[in-house]
A and B are shown apart, each in its own frame.
Chain A
């Protein structure tokens, strides 16, 4: 059934449809509506899970660590400072191999105070061992949350489903909400063999020496790598049941392009519109949307891009003292390719700057014409 929803409401619908058993909520703009909606659904009876109102984001994640250890399907949502405050617990949850699913609504980090979208909050958690998915529509938010539970429960790795603050979280659009029976077929109840059980007492996460520790980390690295094929299998099953297909990388008119815009999140649509306009003017433009960031789909990236290409990577984050996160990752992935695409990083849209078609055409032209030095980050300010 089609409903007009925001990205936040789509996330809440998905959590309820997924049969989440325990959700912890703590408010933060622009993610607050997710917890509010779950709370309303709980009062109406359309969300049957238990809601825990916690006193901080750190506790939000800590409570899910406990609930998931007891074998519950768990969910929370946060943003920006809230995600940063969870940092310690993010490592705990992935290290404990618990399939927690969390929505992060992208928002810039303070100081100075800012409410609006960029990707520095989620990308600064890239080394925490969580899968990361970047959505481009509210439909994709709903679908990705559903898929994330399945992927996480198969890989024993937690998932972060990321959406743009306001641009997705607060924008209304028609979303196809699948019926509960179909979702139950896709996502049956989760019942892990190993869980906290007062009938069979056991201790988890106790002190491990170096020998066990490195083996556990290596096993996690292996499972993270295997997650790409799990993501693919789950996407295929999702398509068979619901008719919508999602790839880790979504190329657009890219195969014969000489310069390609690389971008993640809701602004990918504007990149495609920019490509259409550039093509109309006779340019060989293309775009590539990064949908899965962890695990990083390096092989697929290498297959799609070739040495003659120029890449204009749009970073809505910046690692001070280095460069934009996507630029770093893409350059590292292409290091062994020969010849390598010429890759330039453009930092744009920090703190909520609008990423418009005009701005993307400007970025494309700078990279295409070689008027910028690929060794340096190019800072693009919102012209408006």
Chain B
């Protein structure tokens, strides 16, 4: 069982990132995935949390996730908002950031930190304004590759079925992030 927690801001499509991953896992065939929103009062710009629980077998537990194996940070400025809560040493933190990995890692001692330049990719594909780029699809693509959750076709399909606006651009951004991660993994 893999449990992921997503940190983003209201309006960024944080829950949708989890839903896209769920769609991609479904298309992969055997896996099960729940995409769970944090049940709060949503405000644009306020910190929000979502969860995904992924397993090869049926998933029985539907509670919130308290000890995730991985954390995904859609907004790198959210560093103070309980990002490391419940994490065991060695847990994975995936950050939307163009900063160098060494300085990012220093922020989270004992954790495995990975980064994706999701802001740059999203803006390149015209997703959202510069101040608040929409990085959810890009991050979903990167997470699928990093955690080996789904293949390229499944990611493209998952985005296409979840995002009604700028569908092609979102799918391209997700695949660019997917490919970037794959290149880094096998380079």
Contact = CB atoms under 8 A, between A and B. Distances in A.
B29 to A, nearest CB: 10
B62 A172 contact: no
Interface stretch (B15-23, B97-105, B110-118, B125-133): B15-23
Interface string B45-88: 00000000000000111111010000000000000000000000
A187 B36 CA distance: 32
A235 interface: no
A116 B26 CA distance: 28
A355 B63 contact: yes
B39 A116 contact: yes
Contact of A4 (B19, B39, B66): B19
Contacts of B23: 4
Interface in A247-281: 266-267, 269-270, 272-273
Given A4-B22, A115-B41, A172 B60 contact: no
B52 to A, nearest CB: 9
B19 to A, nearest CB: 5
B13 interface: no
Contacts of A352: 39
A269 B62 CA distance: 7
Interface string A140-184: 000000000000000000000000011110111110000000000
A364 B39 CA distance: 27
A4 B26 contact: yes
A384 interface: yes
A168 B39 CA distance: 11
A174 B33 contact: yes
B150 to A, nearest CB: 13
Contacts of B33: 173-174
Contacts of A240: none
Contacts of A269: 59-62
A303 to B, nearest CB: 25
Interface residues of A, number: 25
A289 to B, nearest CB: 11
Contact of A171 (B34, B60, B66): B34
Contacts of A230: none
Contacts of A116: 39
Given A4-B26, A115-B39, A116-B39, A172 B34 contact: yes
A223 interface: no
A170 B37 contact: yes
Most chain-A Cβ atoms within 10 A of its Cβ — which of B37, B41, B60, B161? Answer: B60
Contacts of A173: 22, 32-35, 59
B41 A270 contact: no
B26 A170 contact: no
A328 to B, nearest CB: 26
Contacts of B162: 4
A357 B36 contact: no
A215 interface: no
Given A173-B22, A267-B63, 9 more contacts: A2-B26, A4-B22, A4-B161, A171-B34, A171-B62, A173-B32, A269-B60, A269-B61, A354-B63
Nearest first, the 8 A-B pairs at minimum CB distance are A269-B60, A166-B39, A172-B35, A174-B26, A172-B19, A356-B63, A273-B60, A171-B36
5 contacts: A4-B162, A172-B22, A174-B22, A269-B61, A357-B63
Interface of A: 2, 4, 115-116, 165-168, 170-174, 266-267, 269-270, 272-273, 352, 354-357, 384
